[in-house]
Chain A
Amino acid sequence: MLNINHLTVSVEGKIIIKDLTLAIPLDKVTTLLGPNGAGKSTLAHAIMGSPTCKIEQGTILLNEEDITHKDTSERARKGLFLSFQYPLEVPGVNLANFLRQAYIATHGKIGIFDFKQLLEEKMKVLGIDASFADRNLNEGFSGGEKKRVELLQLAVLQPKLAILDETDSGLDTDALALSAKGINLLKEQGMGVLLITHYDRMLDQIHPEVVHVLVNGKIVKTGDISLAKDVTQQGFQQLQEV
């Protein structure tokens, strides 16, 4: 379980997340819905330990261990993964080589050939062309390609909890279906998912068991898939006053 207790987070001096308490199971799919500017991404990055997110108060516990002030790489090694809404380009850094090093950092040693096999297998599942292994990390990738490579990284690194920040945006229908298939496979293998979105496009394919609605840095409503349907069809306006 990932427990967020009374968390207040500021970015550049502005409070974005206000006294938020939330429990995210590591064996279920949780969805966080909210309008633009509600603080969804900030929450995701605060969980991952971004240096731009300042924890004003509160704690984050992963399986009861306090990780509130742990460094980002340590959180990754403990099993957290964040699929970025805007993945960064790292020129000159070969994707396959980078992923192998990340795998070694999170899982321990693996030979070059074993890793190559693992990578090819995951690329196949996600419908990613094998040539991507030789490309540089996100360098010159389209928005959709970046998103798919985020999922490839997720599939290779097999974390305990995957936080997917707007993973569905920028994907066409086919890519979305392949991505959902990949995520469902990982879910079956026991991975928790925190799906952050403001659309319901992916919800039909990845069935969330818990749905939270975030507005103005606070959880305003919690429910099941029917809440997600309500909110995405009727808008967030109705929840503003709750």
Chain B
Amino acid sequence: MSEVLTINRDKYDVAAPDTSVKLPEGLSEDIIRKISKDKNEPAWMLQHRLHCFKLFQKFAMPTWGPDLSKLDLNKITFYAKPDAKPNSRSWDDVPEDIKKTFDRLGIPEAERNSLAGVGAQYESQVVYHKLKKELEDQGVIFLDMDVALHKHPKLVKEHFMKCVPPSLHKFAALHGAVWSGGTFLYIPKGVKVEAPLQAYFRMNAARMGQFEHTLIIVEEGAQVHYLEGCSAPVYEEASLHAGCVEVFVKAGARARYSSVENWSKNTYNLNTKRAIVDENAIMEWVNGNLGSGITMLYPCTVLKGDNSKCENLGIAFANKDQNQDTGMKIYHLGKNTKSTIVSKSISKEGGITSYRGLIKIAPGAKNAKANVQCDALMADNKSQSITLPHMEILEPQSETEHEATVSRIQDDQVYYLMSRGLSKQHATQLIVSGFIEPIVKNLPVEYAVELNRLIEMEMEDTLG
């Protein structure tokens, strides 16, 4: 079976010539001051960065999960600015080599496919940003995070790292110290954005970390679906991604955040994502993790308001030398809160997938309901799948269900499909896409197509 699913990363792992300006490797107070100065930031942000840096220095490296001992933070470049005008509004303004990179990622197609707005991060600066006129007219703000800091200082200051506090863990603190770029999305009260909003991210310069910050505020009764897709080229040495996503879902609002993260294999993906959900509001997370050598990603939802809900769908794919340590964290604080988690993982060629999740039902969260379903599929007997569910139920009047399945791609299933004329590769691919179908079917069509295409590409070149 093992020869069947082979990842072909060539399509993403091609670095464009490096035209960026970078600060030296490693991190110091001096570098942090330079980042802040270069961005012409208000004093409070510099203070915030320096405070975060102190926290970062205090925290030890986490040792409870995958091995991070090979991650040398002194070899990471913490800030780089590409040779492009920030916030180009039209495709024509984007430099040629950057366009080529985006071409490979299919951004022009995404544009043609009438997505409502495109913000694409190239290294640490957003070079391309577009928002449809009608959204602007409705008061929707969709900006590069650095620009938002200047244009909407009050909104940013009120929310920035209030959902993901820098004290959360070492990499949240690091993020707070060196964050750069990202997306700011504000949906005013009652505004329902029908078409999904999309941004693509890509790291390019070798040994360059990416620390983009995404801040989404969905006001009362508003609605939005935000999509992110990531891909990264090959590096000579370990590269770090420690982004941060904060989502505020106000009363009666609905937010959906979907992302496919496909960083190259020698990347450490240590992202932090968190949402705070007020009464009668709904948060939905859709996460696909296909790349990175080591991923530690546990999107967290705080169901703060009564009757708030969250739905979580996750797919993780671990190939040779990959460790996908993912899961969901849910805090049920309000009454009648409800969470559902569906997590699917695929491992092959010795890859490791772990579901590491937390359900906490706080005292007083009466009638809270949590449902966790984890399914793991292994393509061979060399691969591993681990389920580490953690539950803290402090309210007796609540319900929690957890169900986990682990299965192998069955030889007899492959044989059955082959008996209808499908090649071994095709048969295996069908079984895998069937396995993730419950998640893919919940994605918007163009995104489902992209995810399926990524998985198909990962299975290309298999029967040489």
Residues of A within 8 A of B (CB): 48, 50-52, 71-73, 75-77, 81-82, 84, 87-88, 90-93, 98-99, 101-102, 105-106, 136-137, 153, 157
Contacts and interface: CB of A to CB of B under 8 A. Distances in A.
Residue with the greatest number of chain A CB neighbours at <10 A, chosen from B410, B430, B433, B437: B430
**3 residue pairs, one from A and one from B, having the closest CB atoms:** A92-B434, A92-B437, A105-B421
Given A90-B434, A91-B434, A92-B434, A81 B422 contact: no
A170 B416 CA distance: 20
A105 B412 contact: no
B226 interface: no
Contacts of A75: 419
B436 A88 contact: no
Interface string B394-433: 0000000000000000111101111111111011001101
B416 A92 contact: no
Given A84-B416, A88-B410, A71 B424 contact: yes
B438 interface: yes
Contacts of B423: 73, 105
Contacts of A81: 419-420
B435 interface: yes
Nearest to B411: A51
A75 B197 CA distance: 48
A92 B435 CA distance: 6
Residue with the greatest number of chain A CB neighbours at <10 A, chosen from B418, B421, B426, B427: B421
Nearest to B430: A93
A99 B426 CA distance: 13
Contacts of B418: 71-73, 76
Contacts of A136: 434, 437
A82 B412 CA distance: 13
Given A72-B419, A93-B430, A105-B420, 12 more contacts: A73-B418, A73-B419, A76-B418, A84-B416, A88-B416, A90-B430, A98-B417, A102-B422, A105-B423, A105-B426, A153-B420, A157-B420
A192 B411 CA distance: 28
Contacts of B417: 90, 98, 102
Interface in B189-240: none
6 contacts: A72-B419, A81-B420, A87-B416, A90-B416, A91-B437, A101-B430
A232 to B, nearest CB: 28
A190 B420 CA distance: 19
A200 B433 CA distance: 41
By secondary structure, the B interface counts as helix
A82 B419 CA distance: 7
Interface string B433-447: 111111000000000
A93 B431 contact: yes
Contacts of B426: 101, 105
A90 B419 contact: no
A76 B421 contact: yes
A114 to B, nearest CB: 18
Contacts, number: 78
Interface string B75-106: 00000000000000000000000000000000
Contacts of A137: 434
Contacts of B430: 90, 93, 98, 101
A91 B433 CA distance: 9
B420 to A, nearest CB: 4
Given A92-B434, A93-B431, A76 B420 contact: yes
A77 B421 CA distance: 5
Given A51-B411, A84-B416, A88-B416, A73 B424 contact: yes
Residue with the greatest number of chain A CB neighbours at <10 A, chosen from B417, B420, B426, B433: B420
A106 B419 contact: no
Given A50-B415, A51-B411, A105 B434 contact: no
A84 B436 CA distance: 26
Contact of A88 (B412, B424, B433, B437): B412
Given A72-B415, A101-B426, A92 B421 contact: no
B421 A73 contact: yes
A165 to B, nearest CB: 11
Contacts of A84: 416, 419
A105 B413 contact: no
Contacts of A90: 413, 416-417, 430-431, 434
A156 to B, nearest CB: 9
Contacts of A98: 417, 420, 430
A62 B374 CA distance: 46
Nearest to B434: A92
A80 to B, nearest CB: 8
Given A71-B418, A73-B422, A157-B420, A88 B413 contact: yes
Given A51-B411, A73-B424, A93 B419 contact: no
Contacts of A76: 418-421
Nearest to B440: A92
A50 to B, nearest CB: 6
Nearest to A75: B419
Interface in B435-462: 435-438
B424 to A, nearest CB: 7
A145 B388 CA distance: 38
A41 to B, nearest CB: 13
B422 A105 contact: yes
Given A51-B411, A93-B431, A101 B422 contact: yes
Contacts of A71: 418, 424
A52 B411 CA distance: 9
Interface string B277-309: 000000000000000000000000000000000
A51 B415 contact: yes
Contacts of A101: 422, 426, 430
